[in-house]
Amino acid sequence: MAMMTGEQYVESIRKMKIKIFLFGEQVSSAADHPILRPSLNSVKATYDLAKKPEYEDLMTVKSHLNGARINRFGHIHHSTDDLVKKVKMQRLCGQKTASCFQRCVGMDAFNALFSTTFECDEKHGTHYHKNFLAFLKEAQEKDWTVDGAMTDPKGDRGLAPSRQADPDLYLRVVERRKDGIVVRGAKAHQTGICNSHQVIVMPTIAMGPEDKDYAVSFAVPLDVENLFMIIGRQSCDTRKLEGSSMDVGNCEFGGVEALTIFDNVFVPNERIFLNGETDYSGMLVERFAGYHRQSYGGCKVGVGDVLIGAAALAADYNGAGKASHVKDKLIEMTHLNETLYSSGIACSSEGAKTKSGNYLIDLLLANVCKQNVTRFPYEITRLAEDIAGGLMVTAPSEKDLRHPTLGKYVEKYLRGVAAVSTETRLRILRLIENLTLGTAAVGYRTESMHGAGSPQAQRIMIARQGNLEQKKQLARDIAKIK
């Protein structure tokens, strides 16, 4: 099967019987609900962009499995050039959607599992790599969007999975059969899972022998029996129900998260990629986290480009675009954004080949990248809000602007420079609001803190990867200390 068009992708999701609950009611289709559709549109954009000749080199690549041209989101990285192009592709997608486009977690899960299953098989004589390759081949041929699910609810963070008061607070195997396993538990904060064809489940932490039932990785379709999801709320989410393209800020694209429940889900043997090998749970977590922290050096930068542009336009519309302090703030925003990008490119350029043949980013630099992402977007949004002014959060609605009596007052008193209409000014301010405070803030500002692991997770990895003893020896050598 050739790569799908965006519309073909939408129809493929519409045909699936995915169980989705929102505001206590079951949603018939993610493709047709006004709150969920912008999120689907963001994924659709990754299909549309792959069909444009000018983006072919970034968005598509030849599969190493069959030589066919595939969407890069389904690719296994086989060089540092692949790793660099991944980041550049993510920046492009962020620029075109100004939101989370949701396919990164699946791509990062693919690459983490590719090498981890290979090395697990090498040690334990398992056949997980064969299972994974068969799944990957089908995913590429059918051009699936695949979600990656790692984050468990965790319960008491001070206790291991098997010591929790409720054993289901980490997803686990509850039954082993000849033909497969039955799993129970949940995965939290699952971005874009309601827009996916399949989900890859992974453990969320390194585990000891006593947590054997929790060291599990597998893939299932999203419409599998006994799997359902509960959509999370976002700030300003019900604005999408009002029919105003102006008030939502980003009228076409968005992101959405869900708590996904696995209530005794059966997984056939051929879709299992880890099953009790606790000594490889940590490797899988570390490699997935590394790839995903690399991703933030692309996707968040692309959204940052849009926010910087919006702030610059707001300054122009306010008549302050030439003010030196505004210019300096835009320079600082650009400096911070490009620093994030440089971290993403650096960890990609310094990647190395694994035993399996695919390429792993430099883990230290990937964690440095994500550590920066937990900080810089907050300063970028602060500066954007500073430049935009208070009207960003006090402006009347589009209905007031269109009102036969009130509209002339909104038009008169909320205009900035005379050459720019009030509606134009309000539209750009609503976009900034969306990116910094509204629904897109989940995919930009707040997700910058917690997505791919909160700050302390990166600091732990930086401590492990930082090679402090080597640095001590460098100092001894220079100081002539034996």
Q: What is the mean pLDDT of residues 270-290?
A: 98
- Following CA atoms 312, 317, 318, 324 in sequence, which dihedral angle do they give, to the nearest 10 degrees? 40
Query: How many whole angstroms separate alpha carbon 184 and alpha carbon 432?
Result: 41
Residues of the chain with pLDDT > 70, as a percent, come to 100
Sheet of 25-27, strands arranged across: 25-27, 20-22, 227-231, 258-268, 180-187, 172-177
Query: How many whole angstroms separate alpha carbon 64 and alpha carbon 78?
Result: 9
What pLDDT is stored for residue 396 in this prediction? 98
* 296 counts as catalytic: yes
Give a three-class secondary structure readout of 23-71: CCEEECCCCCCCCCHHHHHHHHHHHHHHCCHHHHHHHEEECCCCCCEEE
Query: How many whole angstroms separate alpha carbon 152 and alpha carbon 459?
Result: 20
What pLDDT is stored for residue 223 in this prediction? 97
Cβ partners under 8 Å of residue 419, min gap 6: none
DSSP 250: S
Give 452-463 pLDDT, tens digit per residue. Answer: 998 999 999 999
Query: How many whole angstroms separate alpha carbon 38 and alpha carbon 334?
Result: 27
What pLDDT is stored for residue 444 in this prediction? 92
* 325 counts as catalytic: no
Q: State whether CATH 1.10.1740.10 applies to domain 283-468.
A: no
Q: What is the mean pLDDT of residues 202-224?
A: 97
Query: How many whole angstroms separate alpha carbon 37 and alpha carbon 9?
Result: 13
Q: What is the mean pLDDT of residues 334-339?
A: 98
Listed in order, strand segments (DSSP E) in 138-257 are 146-149, 172-177, 180-187, 198-201, 216-221, 227-231
What pLDDT is stored for residue 447 in this prediction? 87
| Total residue count of the chain as it appears in this document | 482
Residue type at 272 in one-letter notation: I
Only one residue has tokens 């992708």, namely: 9
What pLDDT is stored for residue 467 in this prediction? 96
Catalytic residue among 93, 104, 120, 347: 104
Query: How many whole angstroms separate alpha carbon 41 and alpha carbon 59?
Result: 17
pLDDT over 80 (residue 260): yes
What pLDDT is stored for residue 92 in this prediction? 98
What pLDDT is stored for residue 445 in this prediction? 86
Catalytic residue among 120, 151, 257, 291: 257
Per domain, the residue ranges of the chain are 283-468
Sheet of 146-149, strands arranged across: 146-149, 198-201, 216-221, 272-275
What pLDDT is stored for residue 29 in this prediction? 86
Query: How many whole angstroms separate alpha carbon 156 and alpha carbon 147?
Result: 26
Residues of the chain with pLDDT > 90, as a percent, come to 97
DSSP string, 129-153: HHHHHHHHHHHHHTT--EEEE----
Catalytic residue among 47, 291, 296, 341: 296
Q: What is the mean pLDDT of residues 57-85?
A: 97
* 191 counts as catalytic: yes
Q: Coil, strand or helix: which one is 172?
A: strand
Q: How confident is the model at residue 443 (pLDDT cuts 50, 70, 90)?
A: confident
The answer to whether 266 and 314 are in contact (CB under 8 A) is: no
* 120 counts as catalytic: no
Q: How confident is the model at residue 253 (pLDDT cuts 50, 70, 90)?
A: very high
Catalytic residue among 120, 194, 299, 369: 299
What pLDDT is stored for residue 392 in this prediction? 96
pLDDT over 80 (residue 219): yes
What pLDDT is stored for residue 2 in this prediction? 83
* 100 counts as catalytic: yes
Q: Which of 261, 257, 260, 259 is nearest to 234 (CA)?
A: 257
pLDDT over 90 (residue 330): yes
Please give the angle made by the CA atoms of 293, 294 and 296, to the nearest 5 degrees: 70
Query: How many whole angstroms separate alpha carbon 178 and alpha carbon 142?
Result: 28
Half-sphere exposure of residue 298, counting CA atoms within 13 Å on the CB side? Answer: 27
Q: Residue 145 is encoded by which pair of tokens? A: 């969007």
What pLDDT is stored for residue 446 in this prediction? 85
Q: How confident is the model at residue 476 (pLDDT cuts 50, 70, 90)?
A: very high
Catalytic residue among 75, 77, 189, 292: 292
* 104 counts as catalytic: yes
Q: How confident is the model at residue 441 (pLDDT cuts 50, 70, 90)?
A: confident
Please give the angle made by the CA atoms of 228, 230 and 233, to the nearest 5 degrees: 160
What pLDDT is stored for residue 324 in this prediction? 98
Catalytic residue among 60, 75, 100, 197: 100
Give 13-31 pLDDT, tens digit per residue. Answer: 999 999 999 999 999 888 9
What pLDDT is stored for residue 387 in this prediction? 98
